[in-house]
Chains A and B, each alone.
Chain A
Amino acid sequence: MSRTTYRPRLAAAEPLLWLGPAIALIGVVVLTPVVIMVRTAFRKIDSIGFDRGPAGWANFEKVFHEPSLHAVLWRTAFWVVAVVSITLVISLALAALFNQQFPGRRVARWALIAPWAASVFMTAVVFRWMLNPDSGLINVLMHRIGLLDEIGPTVAKADWLGRPDAAMWWMIGVAVFVSLPFTTYALLAGLQAIPSEVYEAARVDGAGPVRTYLHVTLPLLRPAVTVATLINIMNVFNSFPIIWEMTRGGPGDQTATTTVFMYQIKASSIPEAAAMSVVNFGFVVLIVLVFLRASRWQEQVD
């Protein structure tokens, strides 16, 4: 193809010239930390940061003997499954709605992206403020419509974030809220990729709207659902700002997921936090592998 003739050596080096900066950046920022993290997990490091030699599996044993690890792992699984599945169900409905023709659709879609564009951290802070026991907007509105008898600084029922169970559900709500825009948009893209002839065929066959949705739309939407779900699993599993800003994982570690738990451990022991990260990372790699299979990315780049 190329009009210039290169000496073989130079030709082989050419890709490096173009890809070099990207590879260097990924190497320094993404790959090196992984290596350092795994290494740290097997070192003995004292509280002031001195490396005191290899630790074998001691750091991992310490993590596995953390009294709350079991609860944290279950909570993480619950957190991921709840957020991702609720998000998916609501997004399917939203995508169906925003795929219809109606006046002003574009403007309405713009409003939908707000939680996606805004910092998750700031969204979490506003929700924390809106759940404030004495004057939070959510409490005020619940009080007005009679869902709460009274509100105020000492009313336990209005102190949602002070009770681990209630706090968990509110945080799941916030996580769903910030995941909805991306998921809805991904599903909308999937819906728009379905050719209209398919719907005409269904109509000719006499299928009603419900049957058409269940037997035509949903199956054709599967690739979009799969990819969006996997990306959401990854985001929700790694999610830190929501729990951090709303409860700091507390009281204690009673609302911590593995990511927040790792951050809590980091305050007392870096190598133990590294061991916890390695455990987390194993899960991340697993999702990546499933994603690679599902996304059929190779067809895209060939």
Chain B
Amino acid sequence: MSTRVRTPFKTRQLVLAGIAYLLAMLFLVPYAEMVVTAARPADELLEPTVLPSHWDWSNFTSLWSTGLGGNLRVSLMVATGSTLLVLLAALPAAYYTARRRFRGRTAFLLLVLITQMFQPTAMLVGIYKEFSAFGLTDSVFGLILVNAGFNLAFATWILNAYFASIPVELEEAAMVDGTSRLGALRHITMPLAWPGLVTALIFTFISAWNELVIALILTTTPEKQPLTVALDSFIGGYQIDWGHLFAASAIATIPVIVLFAAIERKVVSGLTAGSIK
């Protein structure tokens, strides 16, 4: 069928590619520097050199005795918990608003959109007072609640768009064929909405994983802090342990960049309320 012939690349394309690669590398410099610093031998930490004379990966192994392993675990629990809670709340809401017209539907979607624009930093004092009153400071559950709350909008929005794009006739046809409503959902709708679901879940996981400000005010006990807050207190100290700081940062950052690459394109439509296709 295809008659496309591969033509050799033109000079113009090669120049463009060259510029693009150069820029792309520039974007990776800070993250490469993270790894380079973590792998510098301790006595070369303050040497004015671009690369160390030899590599020393011991920071990555000695890291686990600094207590940061526990903070990494808190981060993992918070991110996983928030993702599950978002799934639990966003999935039914998104499905229902995509399939039914009911009183209050527009109001609900407006509420979701407004929530998406709000950021926890703007209401720090309110969150702090409310969660202190409920005894939810130093608590994984407290952090799960806040992160889920502020990521719910993105997930609802993107799932709603996916469900709305799946013709209801597909579900109905399956039901005429004797499948139950739940069966139709499982075998017809969910596989089609899968990319939206994956995007929503990864996005929620990453933003809960990266969150700093709320955790900064809600957790004070070092063992109960997620990794971001624990690393922030490194910075506050007199003698900054840069080697371990960046070893932990690299471990926390690189998987996230890879994960994000999987959903890059779909994220934009979720963040812009679909107004740019």
Contacts and interface: CB of A to CB of B under 8 A. Distances in A.
Contacts of A29: 127, 145-146, 148-150
Interface string A137-174: 10111010000000100000000000000000000000
Interface of B: 9, 13-14, 16-17, 19-21, 23-25, 27-31, 33-34, 37, 45-50, 85, 88-90, 92-93, 95-97, 100, 102-106, 108-115, 117-119, 121-130, 145-146, 148-150, 152-153, 156, 160-161, 164, 206, 209-210, 212-213, 217, 228, 231-232, 235, 242, 245-246, 249, 252-253, 256-257, 259-261, 264-265, 267-269, 271-277
A89 interface: no
Contacts of B149: 25-26, 28-30
Given A112-B23, A118-B256, A137-B29, 20 more contacts: A14-B102, A17-B92, A23-B108, A26-B112, A30-B115, A107-B24, A110-B264, A119-B210, A119-B253, A122-B34, A126-B34, A151-B48, A182-B268, A189-B277, A193-B277, A227-B275, A241-B213, A277-B122, A284-B117, A284-B119
B93 A18 contact: yes
Interface residues of A, number: 108
Contacts of B119: 234-235, 238, 284
A277 B124 contact: yes
A34 B123 contact: yes
Contacts of A110: 24, 261, 264
Given A29-B146, A102-B9, A120-B210, A277 B152 contact: no
Looking at chain A's contact residues, the main secondary structure is helix
A120 B252 CA distance: 12
Interface string A1-45: 000000000000011011101111110111011111110100000
Contacts, number: 313
A281 B123 contact: yes
Contacts of B106: 298, 301
A53 interface: no
Given A126-B33, A186-B272, A240-B213, A15 B104 contact: yes
B233 to A, nearest CB: 12
Most chain B CB inside 10 Å of its own CB: which residue of A23, A102, A238, A270: A102
A185 B235 contact: no
A135 B45 contact: yes
A288 B124 contact: no
For the complex of A and B, 4 pairs with smallest distance between CB atoms? A29-B149, A33-B126, A37-B126, A117-B260
